[in-house]
């Protein structure tokens, strides 16, 4: 049972919540701010709760809408496989959202009303992604939501929580973390393009077509590398994030050669790992 819950949480992509908080903390250090561990850890736990809640809610919602069919190429899903009932998974999702909401009281006490608004917006977006009459996951807006909440909001919110201010570099750092996170969803939708079309979805990958989707994927991986160079003024350490360039090129090469099958699941996980690697390199470049 525990293994089924772990698989439903989709651990291979949970780093998407960790990376922006690392980048935000590093930017605070670079600007001479004081790093407060307890608020940062609370924000990390809340972010992970929201992401896991989204994953669980998506698992149950897709099963109930009939989107997870036997010909689906993605990893096995707990509800579709019968490991857990849709009611169990949905209750697990709301338990995660409730935990994030409770942690939000402490974060609001530390960061004030801007953090309250950010937290409520994050919870609303988490529900809207798979819930309601017009789920965001069924539209071309999914990647934009990921960019906003796994990038700009997460990095900017972390920076504001620790400093009570917001800077241009913090917003650029949000793009650095958010663009590869959006690439993870883009690969997911690229893999599921045909089954999503039959289910009535209109994702960005369906609208763009396969070749344009691959080009957009390349931009989502490479543009953050250029943005990293604008954050760090140090003439030596600013180049450190470029060590991730071979990883990006390798992912692009594999996507061009990869057929539309379950092999894309590995590419999806590697894209999440690329985001983490890039975030760590940016953070390290800001520490000296």
pLDDT digits (tens, 9 = 90+) for 26-58: 999 999 988 999 999 999 999 999 999 999 888
pLDDT band at 158 (very low <50, low <70, confident <90, very high): very high
Q: What mean pLDDT value characterizes the chain?
A: 91
Where is pLDDT greater, at 162 or 233? 162
Look up residue 255 and give its DSSP letter: H
Mean pLDDT on 168-192: 96
Where is pLDDT greater, at 53 or 196? 53
What pLDDT digit, counting tens, does each position of 212-238 carry?
Answer: 999 999 999 999 999 999 998 888 899
Instruction: Report the C-alpha gap between 6 and 230 in whole angstroms.
Output: 38
HEC letters along 148-165:
HHHHHHHHHHHHHHHHCC
Residue 80 has pLDDT above 80, yes or no: no
Quote the tokens at residue 53. Answer: 């809640």
- Residue-range domains of the chain with CATH: 2-286 (1.10.600)
Instruction: Report the C-alpha gap between 129 and 139 in whole angstroms.
Output: 10
Instruction: Report the C-alpha gap between 273 and 268 in whole angstroms.
Output: 9
Instruction: Report the C-alpha gap between 67 and 90 in whole angstroms.
Output: 16
Q: Which residue's entry shows tokens 């989204």? A: 54
Mean pLDDT on 159-163: 96
Instruction: Report the C-alpha gap between 56 and 40 in whole angstroms.
Output: 24
Answering whether pTM is above 0.85, one says yes
Quote the tokens at residue 16. Answer: 């998407």
Q: What percent of the chain has pLDDT over 90?
A: 68
Mean pLDDT on 131-142: 84
Residue 102's CB: how many other CB atoms inside 10 A? 11
Burial of 261 from C-beta contacts in 10 A (0-12 / 13-18 / 19+): exposed
Where is pLDDT greater, at 74 or 136? 136
pLDDT band at 75 (very low <50, low <70, confident <90, very high): confident
Where is pLDDT greater, at 194 or 143? 143
* Predicted pLDDT of residue 67: 59
Instruction: Report the C-alpha gap between 49 and 115 in whole angstroms.
Output: 16
H or E segment and range at residue 239: none
Quote the tokens at residue 145. Answer: 């939501």
Mean pLDDT on 59-63: 77
Instruction: Report the C-alpha gap between 133 and 145 in whole angstroms.
Output: 17
């Amino acid at each position: 049972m525990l293994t089924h819950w772990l698989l439903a949480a989709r651990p291979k992509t949970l780093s998407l919540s960790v990376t922006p908080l690392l980048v935000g903390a590093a930017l605070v250090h670079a600007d001479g701010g004081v790093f407060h561990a307890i608020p940062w850890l609370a924000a990390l736990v809340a972010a992970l709760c929201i992401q896991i809640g989204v994953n669980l809610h998506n698992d149950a919602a897709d099963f109930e809408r009939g989107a997870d069919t036997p010909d689906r190429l993605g990893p096995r899903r707990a509800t579709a496989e019968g490991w857990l009932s849709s009611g169990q998974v949905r209750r697990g999702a709301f338990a995660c959202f409730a935990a994030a909401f409770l942690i939000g009281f402490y974060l609001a006490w530390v960061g004030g009303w801007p953090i309250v608004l950010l937290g409520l917006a994050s919870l609303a977006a988490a529900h809207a992604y798979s819930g309601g009459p017009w789920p965001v996951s069924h539209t071309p807006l999914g990647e934009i939501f990921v960019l906003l909440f796994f990038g700009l909001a997460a990095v900017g919110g972390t920076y504001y929580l620790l400093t009570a201010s917001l800077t241009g570099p913090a917003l650029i750092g949000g793009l650095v973390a958010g663009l590869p996170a959006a690439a993870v969803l883009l690969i997911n939708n690229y893999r599921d393009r045909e089954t999503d079309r039959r289910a009535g979805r209109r994702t960005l990958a369906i609208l763009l077509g396969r070749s344009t989707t691959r080009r957009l994927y390349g931009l989502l991986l490479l543009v953050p590398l250029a943005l990293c160079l604008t954050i760090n003024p140090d003439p030596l350490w600013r180049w450190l994030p470029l060590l991730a360039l071979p990883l990006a090129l390798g992912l692009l090469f594999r996507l061009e050669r990869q057929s539309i099958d379950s092999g894309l699941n590995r590419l999806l996980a590697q894209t999440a790992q690329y985001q983490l690697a890039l975030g760590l390199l940016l953070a390290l470049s800001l520490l000296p």
